[in-house]
Structure 1
Amino acid sequence: VQLMMSTVDDIVDGASTAAQYAMNGRENKPELAILVSCVGRKLVMDQRTEEEVEEVISVIGTDTAVTGFYSYGEMAPFAGKDACRLHNQTMTLTLFSE
């Protein structure tokens, strides 16, 4: 069992870090960003949900079209692994450009 404690500021910082990772090594500025955030994050953030989106936009740029939705967890492999596992309380970013 692994337990986690977090604050709203930690969640916003995590969204910023995810955006920074997504921007690493890009040759072109993103034109479209799809953000998928776990509904658990929304429940914790309550009235401050827009802050994580604003933080992502501050990293990827204001010229990028942004869309997204809330999920109940994401399926993806962990770093360095091949098999997909459930990620919970996460934000996933996908950036598109020509």
Structure 2
Amino acid sequence: MGDNDRQKAVQARMHGKVQGVGYRMWARREAIRLGLVGWVRNERDGTVTASIAGADAAVSTMIERLRQGPRGASVSRVKIEEFELLDAPIDFRIIV
């Protein structure tokens, strides 16, 4: 098992102007493009949470993209927590 095969799972919480700017649809597109699985949802406090899992390098790339966000978003902070991947979803979905 090489480095490329290393799997990683993180939960990311984005703070700033991240709701009402298409952040979830954008995040889903980016995650699918990178071959990641997981979910993204709006939180009541105005943040957006994403759970992402996949190849180590792809997860790292996604975290960088989450820090940027889509056009119209203004991400002030991203809090990342790693977790153990037990039951990985088979796709990437928006949770409402």
Q: State TM-score, norm by structure 2.
A: 0.34
Instruction: Decide which structure has greater helix share.
Output: 1
Q: State TM-score, norm by structure 1.
A: 0.34
Larger Rg: 1
Instruction: Decide which structure has greater strand share.
Output: 2
